[in-house]
Amino acid sequence: MIIISNSKDTKNVLVEKNKIPQHLAIIMDGNGRWAKKKGLPRSAGHSEGAKAVKKVITSCLKYNIPALTLFAFSIENWKRPKNEINYLLKIFERVLNKEKANLIKNNIKINFIGRLNELPNSLNEKMNELSESTRKNNKLILNIAINYGGRAEITDALKSITLKILDKKLNVEEINEDTIGNNLYIRDLPDPDLLIRTAGEMRISNFMIWQIAYTEFWVTSTLWPDFDENSLIEAIRNFQKRVRKYGGKV
């Protein structure tokens, strides 16, 4: 079930602690529209979007959400104008530098998922350094999907499985859903309970297409730079009303 929310004024009330999503995924959309609406360059929307990321991470810590996956840059985003792509990658690298101390202080483990080898070397170095610096943290697992695509993830998983078969480390008869899951970018985490998409778009845009088979969706018209703690609370409160049947009867 997909529900569209137009509310921007949700009261900051406590959510039910025993029904908190264990893995929250977010498609962050609307930076460009936010900027256009205010007569600003698209770069301004991306800068404000980075601030919204920090707010959501803070809220996840506050409400004890153990895992958060953010869709930061898709494989398809390379089709955008070169100057916008360069700005996005630069702001991403700048944020990593700026937030490193906070991530460590707040006990956040950060993973980067996607075809990372296709990104600039300087950015890859920063990502590797940050992943290594936070690998023992366990308050919040933060996955950043960059140069990511759901079909690419499954394709890469199949390549990995094929190599294991050729190396006689795996038999074809042993392949099952767990085999595929264990060869995806994200491992050892439950599938997302809740997927939030901002800016009112009704599509998944090639995001985690294997993992969201039974994920609950929440679509809001709020543009990503305007997404805040109240927006998150609204999504979680609606999620807590859902009856999750996983194809069975309750």
The residues assigned a catalytic role are 29, 77
Question: In the chain, which ranges are continuous DSSP H helix?
Answer: 31-37, 42-62, 82-105, 121-134, 150-166, 177-181, 229-239
Nearest-5° Cα angle at 184, 209 to 50: 70
Contact 222, 231 (CB under 8 A): yes
Contact 213, 191 (CB under 8 A): yes
